[in-house]
Structure 1
């Protein structure tokens, strides 16, 4: 397996690990926004921005943390047969499913980029009282999809290496 591919796998996994560890802290921002919304609703004038801001934070949390969740094996896997297969059979099946996931994420990124371009060009805002701009959250969505694409290509490289009898060792992050 070429050294550049092994370096790529290690680089992508280190990047997604760092991003995922940082994004975990956004749950505190989400809790703060929701707490402020509850306090303001009970004691002050209700804030119109807290519900939508909480939705945006949660969406960023899921999109930017998705690649890290994949890397950590948090994805749901139907292992009715999977656990009985050899490592090479698992790698072959994983390579096929990762390839289809790459196609799906590519189409999703294409639509996300077009939607982001529209939001930037026309200063798109969300309907409602607060009317926040949509471009920042759409940019975060595209970054999250790119991170997922990078992680999936790293998985594909690992699976192809495993099919060739080469094991790419995990690096300490």
Structure 2
């Protein structure tokens, strides 16, 4: 950026230009806001980001352990057999013991979509999927989130496969 005077002009330019630059990046390393905006070109460091897919659902009473077992089975199968699958975390609501939230980590949205496009043919995976469907009462559609920072330690003694 150009040198600015001490009256806060630089701060105002950053406040005005940064949202425009960020919106124009789309994964590029050079962001160019609209020429007529008067904003300079901005260099940004971009790294490929993982996504998190969040699932929320209610389990049938008495089926909590069967649901968790099926979730673990699906996650382990996916990590072994599906490119881009990075594992998951399953938590239970402290307020509603039948409500579970699963947070799956994927290398990209495209990797997740590719995994969803094929039907479970493997007998082991199919058994886990059927068990999960049999134990779930209702669920919400998955929600997608871009990973910004992950400071958690690996779970169950498994290595972090970042």
Q: What range describes the TM-score normalised by the shorter chain of this pair?
A: under 0.3
Higher strand fraction: Structure 1 or Structure 2? Answer: 2
User: What TM-score, normalized by structure 2, do the two folds share?
Assistant: 0.26
Higher helix fraction: Structure 1 or Structure 2? Answer: 1
Which is greater in Rg? 2
User: What TM-score, normalized by structure 1, do the two folds share?
Assistant: 0.25
